[in-house]
Chains A and B, each alone.
Chain A
Amino acid sequence: KQEVTQIPAALSVPEGENLVLNCSFTDSAIYNLQWFRQDPGKGLTSLLLIQSSQREQTSGRLNASLDKSSGRSTLYIAASQPGDSATYLCAVNSGGGADGLTFGKGTHLIIQP
């Protein structure tokens, strides 16, 4: 059974810092990995999708890497802003879509102005 762990559970940094969020998964036989952000009481916003054959994806100030063999992914946020404050969730697709996504518990990020 796939398990996803995110470290740290919470993080508070001053504005402008670069930061790294970590995600690990137990079964390396994945189809893809997706990073989401969730604002309080809201749905999920997709940030980046990395397919199993890819090593990284970039979107603006965000960069996500994937090391399938070691079961790890990182989300790098450059030049953090207060608007980046949210919970960041990592989700793994292990079954080609038919099995649903397995989520980590998330990293609660606060960017101090």
Chain B
Amino acid sequence: KAGVTQTPRYLIKTRGQQVTLSCSPISGHRSVSWYQQTPGQGLQFLFEYFSETQRNKGNFPGRFSGRQFSNSRSEMNVSTLELGDSALYLCASSLATGTGLYEQYFGPGTRLTVT
């Protein structure tokens, strides 16, 4: 079974631009979560989608948004990029949500550098 895949793996953008990252969950998984990892703040929750609906959102500005498609693939978008958005963006998938029974499986991440 293929794992969680994320594209692109590396990205360099300029301040003020926008970026879209993609995540394909493990086949059969309907929940997709996004996390930002930086050396200073560690791993922080961005948002989670289940059946195309955003279930919850972390404490990030509105420049960070996402969506999920009917095939469970998810995208996240960051508009008006700032230098502080440079980070490793990780996507995780799980079978379901709401019960705590299921492991979350992470993809390899997208390394975003903003110059």
Contact = CB atoms under 8 A, between A and B. Distances in A.
Interface residues of A, number: 29
B111 to A, nearest CB: 7
A42 B108 contact: yes
Nearest to B108: A43
A82 interface: no
A8 interface: no
Nearest to B54: A98
A91 B90 CA distance: 14
Contacts of A32: 100-101
B42 A97 contact: no
A99 B99 contact: no
B98 A96 contact: yes
Interface-centre pick from B58, B92, B108 (highest chain A CB count, 10 A): B92
A32 B88 CA distance: 25
B113 interface: no
Contacts of B48: 97-100
A95 interface: yes
A100 B50 CA distance: 12
A95 to B, nearest CB: 7
Given A46-B105, A91-B43, A98-B98, 20 more contacts: A42-B109, A43-B90, A43-B107, A43-B109, A44-B106, A46-B103, A46-B104, A51-B101, A95-B56, A96-B99, A96-B100, A97-B31, A97-B99, A97-B102, A98-B56, A100-B58, A101-B33, A101-B35, A102-B45, A103-B43
11 contacts: A32-B101, A34-B103, A41-B88, A91-B104, A96-B97, A96-B98, A97-B98, A98-B48, A98-B56, A98-B97, A103-B42
Interface of B: 4, 31, 33, 35, 42-48, 50, 55-56, 58, 88, 90, 92, 94, 96-109, 111
